[in-house]
A and B are shown apart, each in its own frame.
Chain A
Amino acid sequence: MSISKITLLTIFIPIIGSLFIPLAGLISKRTRSVWAVLLAGTTALLPILLIPQAFSGTELIIRKALFPGFDFILVIDALSIFMSVVSSFIGLLIVIYSLGYIKDDANQNEYYLMVVMFIGSMMGIVYSANLVFLYLFWEISAICCWRLIGFYRGKQQVIKADKAFLVTFFGAALMLLGFIAIYNQTGTFDLTQMRGLAVSSTAVLLILLGMLSKSATVPLHTWLPDAGVAPTPVTAILHAAVLVKIGVYAFARIFCYTFQLPDFWLQTLPILAVVSSLVAAAAATVEHDMKRILAYSTVSQIGYIFLGFSMLNPLGVTGGLLFILMHGLSKAGLFLCAGVVEHNTHKRDIRELGGLIITMPITAITFLVCALSVIGIPPLGGFFSKFMVIAGTVHGGHYVAASLALFTALLTAFYLFRLFNAVFLGELKVSIVEKTPAMLFVIITLAVLSLLAGIFVSYPARFADVAALEILRYVK
């Protein structure tokens, strides 16, 4: 199979295949679940076949002429392959976890349809090199996200889903305006023809608002904690695999890979990233809802990724990419552990939980491992990504930003352990044992991968290095 075919299949197998999920559901529940896992599995497998291409250090661009200005253009390089491998793999794990989590709920056809299409739209965004198609896939993901957050159909859920949709759509609409501004300047939507181009600050601002809203960065972040009303695997997907990573990926693709950022933004972005990180960490320290704490933690960690990317030096960008991987693994693990607790106890307020390490030892230990990775303590993977981002920031001369980022890391340790202590240690308040092996299998996998990613960090690091090199080719 040629590389271009693999890429096309990666995008369209989940998007088109997902439409058949309701049909499979007509046959039997089992068929539908198998079909959904099969789709997610194929989507996870295909990008892995592209890894040799990534290491070849060349980029491959595929054009399918539609009509002038709107060509379907795909860019296959280390960056897009890295991103698709990480996202689709974590996506697959979450789909498997859903088999256990969602099995007693209504509307499962819709659930799997939306989840698989969500992953597919992510693949579309990752490989698109045409801004218009990027926007199209972007909005597909927004629609999937909207339906998934409101999955339980209660009044509260619907309102929160609307909030998420409206905020991200608001951002996306502004971003589209930014794309048009760029089109006015260059006469094309093709990213590959615009590399090294300097763009106006206004266009940057408009596009950036779109990214920030999608990646839930302060001040466009509060929809993300509210999205915790969704089923837990969905929140995990939003936080770890797809949604918030769309924004940071787009940032890397558009601002690091393609355009030259104006000086004003080079100075402002690190501050924005660190402030976002700090504000969210503070909020996580105050909250009492398990999922809201973790959601704020995501907002906080996304700040590090932006910080790394905005440095535009090899260390920072490699760190940012590694961060996407490490954060994806461990944050998915944290959410899914929280999901196990919630699924069994039907409680999310940490004041009502306690002592669960006695009855749920596996969940407790996987939670601990993932938490240590998010904090950035060796030998777990999170250490290396955080170290590289901080190193990149210091090499970029932003000492204050680096110090604040480390202070935030300390806050991270504080609030994650506050959560861990409240839920798993102390006095046992609700006695419930672990069940559903599919869910346990997934959380254990994620914890083990967080550890292995730290011990064998040189493999993902080399991958990220190649991608960073490619991204920074036109950066002065």
Chain B
Amino acid sequence: MNIDILLFPILLPLIFAVMGLFLKSKKLINYWAVLGSAAVLYCAYVLFGIKQASLVLPWLGHGIDFDLKLYGFNAAILLWVNIFTFLVVLYSTIKMETSTRIKEYYLYVFLTVMFANGSVLADNFVLFLFFWGGLLITLYMLIMLGNLNSYKTALKSLILLGLCDFCLLLGVVLLWKISGSLKISAISLEAQGLAMISFLLIMIGAIGKAGAMPFHNWIPDAAIDAPVTVMAFLPASLEKLLGIYLLTRISLDVFHFQMNSPVSIVLMTVGAITIVFAVMMALIQKDFKRLLSYHAVSQVGYMILGIGTGTPLGIVGGIFHMLNHAIYKTGLFLSSGSVELAAGTTEMKKLGGLMKSMPVTGLCFSVCALSISGVWPFNGFVSKEMIFHGSYETGYLIFTIAAWVGAIFTFASFLKAGHSIFFGAKSTEIPEVKENSWPVLVPMIILSAFCILFGVYSILPLKLFILPALSGHPEVLAELTFTHNLSLLNPIALISMGCLVIAFGLHYLGVKKGQGKAYLASEPVHNLPIIKTIYNLAENRVFDFYEQGVKLIKLLSKVIYYTVDRPIDFVYERVVTVTGRIVIFILRVLHNGRFANYLSWSLAGLMALGYVMGTLIKKAG
């Protein structure tokens, strides 16, 4: 049988997922998983080389086909999805060793890969929804593998992302109605009127998957409840790649919008709000993983802001930032997992001075942390600079300022995290730790190497992975110049570097005020008047979209139940039965057994009959 090569990235993980269930020993399962992810990665690499392919099979009729299409951009996304999978699986062989549910874990990981590969390759919106929605289930199951309370977080993720997926579905159906087609690569609309609503609905699906506000609340909770490998796998890398991939597709190909059009403003606003609020939350976190998770939210803001600008530089910066973020954030989560594995905790208060005993982890953390903070010459610097420039070009300075504010606090919070965990005095609260074995370290080293490589030779990833996204827009490509990256002496880059200095100052003051305790470095900001109240409200989940939504749903349900459903039932249970009983009672009273009574009824009936007959005859006459 001849199987099209495009089906391999979908079928291979499925085969590995199912076969893995039949393996007995833990060691064998680990080997099997590494082998499987390597095979899929190889397959993705081959496809990346091919770059152009398509496959159309009949499926449901009505224009719903099983339609896969490979082109430059999604080939790159496919490659990266599988690189991350491979690294995370390699890492999991050690990190998940103690888990009793390792079989289930790999089953869900491979199913996730299958769905992710499928949604990247799909060229029909229904097929896309099919794969995309499947990720909801695997994410739910993966979070369920965590601690005892993880099911609540799992449900939270399912409901929040389910909401986004339903919006996406509605947007797709609306788009189908407007354009008459479901083929993603064949639709091209101006985002106006009904098409704009469709765009916004699909956008909710995309940014929800990527973890933007207000659909992010499950991520910080999952950081505590779910295994750290799941965090590195999904919210840090795959979901960002997929969410921003969809956002790119709809912003560039399916719909068009101009710079500063209403759609563009909406996107930039969502981006800016996400950057600022999430980073403020990240700043005050006391747990390393939770801190990272808020940054996973905050950084999405940069990508959305970049794509939302509608300027060539902003768009490319946004997409590039997606790749960079996936690299350094996965690296950071893996380093937090490494710390957790060695020290048994990720609470910053209990940790300290780990650099000496865990030099590789510490070094990798430092590289990734400098990247996310946008320090020259790491990769985060390049993409952030492009976003700053892009947003500056739109003329709305407020968005650029928001991005700068984000940069200040990002660096401040990583100074705090790094200082309290790896540097400073050695902690006495944890036993002696030692560096982890190579399957844990290798993924981190590779990711850190990418951080440096993509920062120094930024033109390489841009040409290979990012610019193919603009393949349908030669006019945009022509405008692009990357020379400014090389020169540090432009006002915008100088301001960004100024931000880093401010962050350093904040950290220094905070540590001083906290009597040398680095984990208290954010307290001065935390305790500012007004801001403290806001923080308290946030900690009490007043701004939690999910918690408030659930409250609203419960209230709404109660109102409907007691004002519509119960009254209707009351009619059947009481009104009908009581009326029936009253009628029966009256009839019973009337039937008193007296002859005169019945005779008078008969007479009255006869008279009534006579009257009716009389009128009828008159009418007929």
Measured CB to CB, the residues of A under 8 A from B are 163, 167, 218-219, 221-223, 278-283, 285-286, 314-315, 318, 372, 375, 377-379, 383-384, 387, 390-391, 394-395, 399, 402-403, 406-407, 409-411, 413-414, 417, 421, 425-426, 457-458, 461-462, 465
Residues of A within 8 A of B137 (CB): 372, 377
Instruction: Give Cα A230 to B412, complex, Å.
Output: 64
Task: Find out whether the CB atom of B129 lies under 8 angstroms from the CB atom of A387.
Answer: yes
5 contacts between A and B (CB under 8 A): A285-B561, A378-B132, A378-B133, A387-B173, A413-B158
Residues of B within 8 A of A379 (CB): 130, 133-134
Among B59-67, B463-471, B537-545, the one that faces the other chain is B59-67
Question: Do A314 and B62 form a contact, CB below 8 Å, given A219-B568, A282-B561, A414-B553?
Answer: yes
Given A218-B568, A394-B173, A411-B557, 18 other A-B residues pairs in contact with their CB atoms under 8 A: A218-B565, A279-B560, A318-B62, A377-B133, A377-B134, A378-B129, A394-B177, A399-B174, A402-B170, A410-B162, A410-B166, A413-B158, A414-B553, A421-B151, A457-B60, A458-B60, A462-B61, A465-B62
Residues of A within 8 A of B565 (CB): 218, 222, 279-280, 282-283
Q: Is B556 an interface residue (CB 8 A)?
A: yes
Task: Find out whether the CB atom of B162 lies under 8 angstroms from the CB atom of A377.
Answer: yes
Residues of B within 8 A of A286 (CB): 557-558, 561
Residues of A within 8 A of B163 (CB): 410
Task: Find out whether the CB atom of B162 lies under 8 angstroms from the CB atom of A163.
Answer: no
Closest to B564 in A: A279
Residues of A within 8 A of B126 (CB): 387
Instruction: Give Cα A202 to B62, complex, Å.
Output: 35
Residues of B within 8 A of A383 (CB): 129-130, 133
Task: Find out whether the CB atom of A315 lies under 8 angstroms from the CB atom of B59.
Answer: no
Closest to B111 in A: A379
A-B contact count (CB 8 A): 118
Instruction: Give Cα A384 to B60, complex, Å.
Output: 10
Task: Find out whether the CB atom of B159 lies under 8 angstroms from the CB atom of A413.
Answer: yes
Instruction: Give Cα A256 to B385, complex, Å.
Output: 60
Instruction: Give Cα A279 to B559, complex, Å.
Output: 10
Q: Indicate which residue in B59, B152, B177, B560 contacts A283 across the interface (CB closer than 8 Å).
A: B560
Main secondary structure of the interface of B (DSSP, over half): helix
Instruction: Give Cα A223 to B565, complex, Å.
Output: 11
Instruction: Give Cα A283 to B165, complex, Å.
Output: 24
Instruction: Give Cα A403 to B166, complex, Å.
Output: 9
Contact with A along B559-583 (1 / 0, CB 8 A): 1110011001100110000000000
- Minimal beta-carbon separation of A456 from chain B (angstroms): 11
Closest to A314 in B: B62
Task: Find out whether the CB atom of B568 lies under 8 angstroms from the CB atom of A377.
Answer: no
A-facing residues in B125-161 (Cβ within 8 Å): 126, 129-134, 136-137, 151-152, 155, 158-159
Task: Find out whether the CB atom of A461 lies under 8 angstroms from the CB atom of B61.
Answer: yes
Q: Is B71 an interface residue (CB 8 A)?
A: no
Contact with A along B172-195 (1 / 0, CB 8 A): 011011000000000000000000
Residues of B within 8 A of A410 (CB): 159, 162-163, 166
- Minimal beta-carbon separation of A424 from chain B (angstroms): 9
Residues of B within 8 A of A421 (CB): 151-152, 155
- Minimal beta-carbon separation of A400 from chain B (angstroms): 11
Task: Find out whether the CB atom of A406 lies under 8 angstroms from the CB atom of B166.
Answer: yes
A-facing residues in B546-561 (Cβ within 8 Å): 550, 553-554, 556-561
Task: Find out whether the CB atom of B560 lies under 8 angstroms from the CB atom of A282.
Answer: yes
Q: Is B254 an interface residue (CB 8 A)?
A: no
Residues of B within 8 A of A315 (CB): 62
Q: Is B275 an interface residue (CB 8 A)?
A: no
Residues of B within 8 A of A399 (CB): 174
Q: Is B169 an interface residue (CB 8 A)?
A: yes
Q: Indicate which residue in A282, A375, A377 contacts B557 across the interface (CB closer than 8 Å).
A: A282
Residues of A within 8 A of B557 (CB): 281-283, 285-286, 411
Instruction: Give Cα A383 to B133, complex, Å.
Output: 9
Q: Indicate which residue in A218, A223, A279, A406 contacts B169 across the interface (CB closer than 8 Å).
A: A406
Q: Indicate which residue in A279, A281, A425 contacts B151 across the interface (CB closer than 8 Å).
A: A425
Residues of A within 8 A of B151 (CB): 421, 425-426
Instruction: Give Cα A421 to B257, complex, Å.
Output: 44
Closest to A394 in B: B173
Task: Find out whether the CB atom of B561 lies under 8 angstroms from the CB atom of A378.
Answer: no
Instruction: Give Cα A410 to B162, complex, Å.
Output: 7
Residues of B within 8 A of A314 (CB): 62
Instruction: Give Cα A375 to B159, complex, Å.
Output: 11
Q: Indicate which residue in A378, A394, A402 contacts B134 across the interface (CB closer than 8 Å).
A: A378
Residues of A within 8 A of B155 (CB): 417, 421
Interface size class of B (residues with CB under 8 A): 35 or more
Main secondary structure of the interface of A (DSSP, over half): helix
Q: Indicate which residue in A222, A395, A411 contacts B568 across the interface (CB closer than 8 Å).
A: A222
Minimum-distance CB pairs A-B, first 4:
A282-B560, A285-B557, A378-B133, A282-B557
Residues of B within 8 A of A387 (CB): 126, 129, 169, 173
Task: Find out whether the CB atom of A461 lies under 8 angstroms from the CB atom of B60.
Answer: yes
Task: Find out whether the CB atom of A163 lies under 8 angstroms from the CB atom of B169.
Answer: no
Task: Find out whether the CB atom of A218 lies under 8 angstroms from the CB atom of B564.
Answer: yes
Residues of B within 8 A of A414 (CB): 159, 550, 553
Residues of B within 8 A of A280 (CB): 565
Residues of B within 8 A of A409 (CB): 166
Residues of A within 8 A of B558 (CB): 282, 286
- Minimal beta-carbon separation of A217 from chain B (angstroms): 11
- Minimal beta-carbon separation of B486 from chain A (angstroms): 46
A-facing residues in B15-35 (Cβ within 8 Å): none
Instruction: Give Cα A321 to B556, complex, Å.
Output: 31
Closest to B178 in A: A394
Instruction: Give Cα A417 to B556, complex, Å.
Output: 18
Residues of B within 8 A of A218 (CB): 564-565, 568
- Minimal beta-carbon separation of A89 from chain B (angstroms): 22
- Minimal beta-carbon separation of A396 from chain B (angstroms): 9
Instruction: Give Cα A464 to B165, complex, Å.
Output: 26
Instruction: Give Cα A402 to B174, complex, Å.
Output: 10
Task: Find out whether the CB atom of B170 lies under 8 angstroms from the CB atom of A390.
Answer: yes
- Minimal beta-carbon separation of B586 from chain A (angstroms): 20
- Minimal beta-carbon separation of B564 from chain A (angstroms): 5
Task: Find out whether the CB atom of A394 lies under 8 angstroms from the CB atom of B130.
Answer: no
Task: Find out whether the CB atom of A413 lies under 8 angstroms from the CB atom of B162.
Answer: yes
Closest to B176 in A: A391
- Minimal beta-carbon separation of B215 from chain A (angstroms): 13
Residues of B within 8 A of A377 (CB): 133-134, 136-137, 162, 165
Instruction: Give Cα A462 to B162, complex, Å.
Output: 28
Residues of B within 8 A of A425 (CB): 151
Residues of B within 8 A of A219 (CB): 568
Task: Find out whether the CB atom of A402 lies under 8 angstroms from the CB atom of B560.
Answer: no
Instruction: Give Cα A163 to B577, complex, Å.
Output: 10
Instruction: Give Cα A222 to B565, complex, Å.
Output: 8
Closest to A386 in B: B169
Residues of A within 8 A of B134 (CB): 377-379
Closest to B162 in A: A413
Q: Which of B59, B163, B550, B561 has the most CB of A within 10 A?
A: B561
Q: Indicate which residue in A279, A285, A390 contacts B554 across the interface (CB closer than 8 Å).
A: A285
Instruction: Give Cα A163 to B166, complex, Å.
Output: 37
- Minimal beta-carbon separation of B254 from chain A (angstroms): 17
Q: Which of A280, A378, A406, A426 has the most CB of B within 10 A?
A: A378
Instruction: Give Cα A375 to B60, complex, Å.
Output: 20
- Minimal beta-carbon separation of A293 from chain B (angstroms): 12
Residues of A within 8 A of B177 (CB): 394-395
Instruction: Give Cα A66 to B558, complex, Å.
Output: 54
Closest to B197 in A: A399
Task: Find out whether the CB atom of B572 lies under 8 angstroms from the CB atom of A223.
Answer: yes
Task: Find out whether the CB atom of A222 lies under 8 angstroms from the CB atom of B572.
Answer: yes
Instruction: Give Cα A314 to B60, complex, Å.
Output: 12
Residues of A within 8 A of B159 (CB): 410, 413-414, 417
Instruction: Give Cα A285 to B305, complex, Å.
Output: 38
- Minimal beta-carbon separation of A57 from chain B (angstroms): 14
Closest to B553 in A: A414
- Minimal beta-carbon separation of B32 from chain A (angstroms): 23
Instruction: Give Cα A426 to B154, complex, Å.
Output: 13
